[in-house]
């Protein structure tokens, strides 16, 4: 396998940028181009780097097995540098210049909504492999991460009987944090609880002192974090430094996705409870086998895979690849129709199957607690359907629908 490295785009006025990494296998046939758009730098690189590693591994694994349809897979990785304008630019380049068979990309929901309309316009298949707030209804987009109906729905019934019913939410100030806060509110109320307040923070905020003072005054039973990115890691440090860890327990819908357990000390991270569709610590033969191969291939540079995002990228690629095999083609509509037959992946995260009504997935959900720079898995819930979109999105009946549904919760 040859690897060409070029400098990433340094300015938006420089025109279309070269890819950060270009890979292609020497299988002697025209390659199938796959594009990845994930942050290798900027404030979201804590999520992006493990996702890139898993996509690289998945492509290498497929090429070692003979590629797809007798053709090698060429992977082009773009680094949008946590810049939404670059996401837009690279999505356009993937569709118009690279002629990608599929794009796997996006981390934040804002980046997804920058990519999605462009790939719809150019009829380029899109996989969004990230745990997110749910609701996207678009036949061209496959969402392979868990949604609040799968993760928050398991998190709230676990923590409220254990800790109490008065909830305080801190969240990132964009559509992920705003919509997820609605879902947390819904499930808190469903369990007989209440949300005392919700505080939203832009992604570049690093000073949480005033917010912590507000939480102290409100005296909740539980704090739930839906914070995002490298800057927001400061909240957990400042929370511990203020002596709050021993006073008010914390759960999160995002903690661990960026390997925060490695960034923070055990004293700062231990005890935070999360729910995701994958933790590296899942004790199953399939996960052990995957990790053995992954570490053998990646060597000392193999990242800790933490919670969900990196693994969903690996699963998402393999779902797409199975759709290509079943279709016998990389033609977009043929692959979509094949995927909609209910393609299933049995892998390190458990069983993942595509729900043809919503282009989301039924998957296994795990509850875990941060412990000693990793997670201890507490409970598992197999075959959880994406009900938050299934209630309103039906792409079988309405294949041309293209919108995002938002849960109707007054806050």
Indicate if 268 and 301 belong to the same structural domain: no
Instruction: Give domain status of residue 322, yes or no.
Output: yes
Indicate if 143 and 47 belong to the same structural domain: yes
Say how far apart CA 277 and CA 265 lie, in whole Å.
24
Residues 6 or more apart from 280 whose CB is under 8 A from it?
287, 291, 304, 305, 306, 307, 374, 375
Indicate if 178 and 229 belong to the same structural domain: yes
Q: What is the pLDDT of residues 64-116, one digit of tens each?
A: 999 999 999 999 999 999 999 999 999 999 999 999 999 999 999 999 999 99
Indicate if 38 and 135 belong to the same structural domain: yes
The pLDDT, as a whole number, for residue 15 is: 35
Indicate if 264 and 156 belong to the same structural domain: yes
Tell me the average pLDDT of the chain. Answer: 91
Instruction: Give domain status of residue 157, yes or no.
Output: yes
Domain total for the chain? 2
CATH number for the domain that contains residue 224: 3.40.50.2300
Is the confidence at residue 5, as pLDDT, over 60? no
Q: pTM, whole model, 2 decimals?
A: 0.90
pLDDT band at 25 (very low <50, low <70, confident <90, very high): very low
Is the confidence at residue 390, as pLDDT, over 90? no
Instruction: Give domain status of residue 14, yes or no.
Output: no
Indicate if 171 and 222 belong to the same structural domain: yes
Q: Which residue has the higher pLDDT, 331 or 230?
A: 331
Indicate if 305 and 335 belong to the same structural domain: yes
Is the confidence at residue 279, as pLDDT, over 50? yes
Kind and range of the H or E run holding 17: none
C-alpha angle with apex 26: 20 to 32, nearest 5 degrees?
65
pLDDT band at 230 (very low <50, low <70, confident <90, very high): confident
Q: Which residue has the higher pLDDT, 11 or 357?
A: 357
Instruction: Give domain status of residue 15, yes or no.
Output: no
Instruction: Give domain status of residue 6, yes or no.
Output: no
Choose one of 276, 303, 323: the last residue of a domain.
Answer: 276
Q: What is the DSSP letter of 12?
A: G
Indicate if 286 and 400 belong to the same structural domain: yes
Cβ atoms within 10 A of the Cβ of 107, count?
Answer: 29
When pLDDT is averaged across residues 176-198 and rounded to a whole number, the result is: 96
Indicate if 291 and 271 belong to the same structural domain: no
Say how far apart CA 49 and CA 123 lie, in whole Å.
27
When pLDDT is averaged across residues 213-223 and rounded to a whole number, the result is: 97
The pLDDT, as a whole number, for residue 389 is: 63
Choose one of 240, 255, 276: the last residue of a domain.
Answer: 276
Residue whose C-alpha is closest to residue 248's, from 279, 273, 275? 273
When pLDDT is averaged across residues 291-315 and rounded to a whole number, the result is: 93
Is the confidence at residue 19, as pLDDT, over 60? no
Domain that holds residue 250: 152-276
Kindly report the backbone phi and psi dihedral angles of residue 379, in degrees, each rounded to the nearest multiple of 5, phi listed first. -150, 155
The pLDDT, as a whole number, for residue 149 is: 93
The pLDDT, as a whole number, for residue 43 is: 85
Cβ atoms within 10 A of the Cβ of 242, count?
Answer: 15
Per DSSP (E only), the strands in 19-70 are 21-24, 32-37
Indicate if 391 and 338 belong to the same structural domain: yes
User: Half-sphere exposure (CA, 13 Å, Cβ side) for 110?
Assistant: 17
Residue whose C-alpha is closest to residue 146's, from 309, 390, 304? 309
Q: Residue 145 in contact with residue 132, Cβ under 8 Å?
A: yes
pLDDT band at 380 (very low <50, low <70, confident <90, very high): very high
Longest CA–CA separation in the chain, Å: 67
The pLDDT, as a whole number, for residue 29 is: 78
The pLDDT, as a whole number, for residue 367 is: 97
Instruction: Give domain status of residue 372, yes or no.
Output: no
Pick the range with the lowest mean pLDDT from 18-27, 145-154, 374-383.
18-27
Q: What percent of the chain shows pLDDT beyond 70?
A: 92
The pLDDT, as a whole number, for residue 28 is: 56
Say how far apart CA 354 and CA 359 lie, in whole Å.
6
User: What would the DSSP string read from start to end of 91-140?
Assistant: HHHHHHTS--SEEEE-SSHHHHHHHHHHHHHTT-EEEE-S-----EEETT
Say how far apart CA 315 and CA 131 lie, in whole Å.
13
Indicate if 173 and 265 belong to the same structural domain: yes
Is the confidence at residue 193, as pLDDT, over 80? yes
Choose one of 231, 255, 276: the last residue of a domain.
Answer: 276
Is the confidence at residue 7, as pLDDT, over 70? no
When pLDDT is averaged across residues 199-226 and rounded to a whole number, the result is: 96
Indicate if 272 and 174 belong to the same structural domain: yes
Instruction: Give domain status of residue 9, yes or no.
Output: no
Instruction: Give domain status of residue 143, yes or no.
Output: yes
pLDDT band at 12 (very low <50, low <70, confident <90, very high): very low
Say how far apart CA 216 and CA 207 lie, in whole Å.
16
Hey, which residues does 347 pair with through a beta bridge? 350
């Amino acid at each position: 396998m040859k690897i060409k490295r070029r400098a990433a785009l340094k300015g938006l006025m420089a025109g279309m940028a070269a890819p950060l990494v270009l890979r292609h296998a020497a299988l002697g046939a025209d390659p199938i181009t796959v594009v990845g758009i994930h942050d290798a730098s900027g404030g979201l690189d804590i999520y992006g780097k493990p996702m890139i590693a898993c996509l690289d591994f998945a492509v290498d694994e497929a090429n070692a097995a003979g590629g797809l349809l007798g053709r090698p897979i060429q992977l082009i990785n773009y680094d949008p540098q946590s810049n939404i304008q670059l996401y837009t630019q690279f999505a356009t380049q993937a569709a118009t210049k690279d002629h990608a068979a599929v794009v796997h990309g996006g981390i934040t929901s804002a980046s997804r909504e920058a990519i999605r309309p462009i790939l719809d316009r150019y009829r380029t298949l899109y996989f969004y492999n990230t745990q997110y707030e749910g609701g996207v209804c678009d036949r061209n987009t496959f969402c392979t991460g868990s949604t609040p109906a799968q993760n928050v729905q398991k998190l709230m019934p676990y923590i409220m009987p254990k800790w109490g019913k008065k909830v305080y939410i801190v969240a990132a100030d964009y559509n992920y944090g705003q919509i997820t806060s609605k879902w947390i509110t819904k499930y808190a109320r469903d369990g007989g609880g209440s949300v005392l307040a919700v505080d939203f923070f832009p992604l570049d905020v690093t000073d949480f002192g005033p917010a912590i003072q507000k939480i102290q005054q409100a005296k909740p039973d539980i704090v739930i974090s839906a914070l995002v990115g490298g800057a927001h890691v400061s909240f957990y440090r400042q929370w511990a430094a203020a002596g709050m860890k021993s006073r008010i327990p914390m759960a999160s819908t995002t903690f661990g996705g960026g390997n925060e357990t490695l960034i923070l000390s055990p004293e700062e991270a231990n005890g935070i409870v999360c729910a995701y569709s994958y933790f590296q610590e899942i004790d199953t033969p399939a996960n052990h086998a995957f990790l053995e191969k992954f570490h053998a291939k990646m060597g000392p540079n193999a990242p800790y895979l933490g919670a969900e995002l990196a693994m969903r990228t690996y699963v998402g690629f393999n779902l797409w690849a199975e759709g290509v095999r079943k279709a016998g083609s990389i033609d977009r509509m043929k692959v979509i129709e094949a995927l909609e037959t209910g393609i299933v992946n049995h892998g390190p995260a458990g069983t993942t199957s595509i729900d043809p009504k919503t282009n989301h997935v039924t998957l296994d959900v795990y509850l875990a607690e941060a412990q000693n720079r990793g997670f201890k898995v507490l409970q598992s819930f197999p075959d959880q359907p994406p009900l938050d979109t299934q209630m309103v999105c039906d792409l079988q009946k309405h294949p041309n629908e293209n919108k995002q549904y938002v849960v109707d919760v007054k806050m």
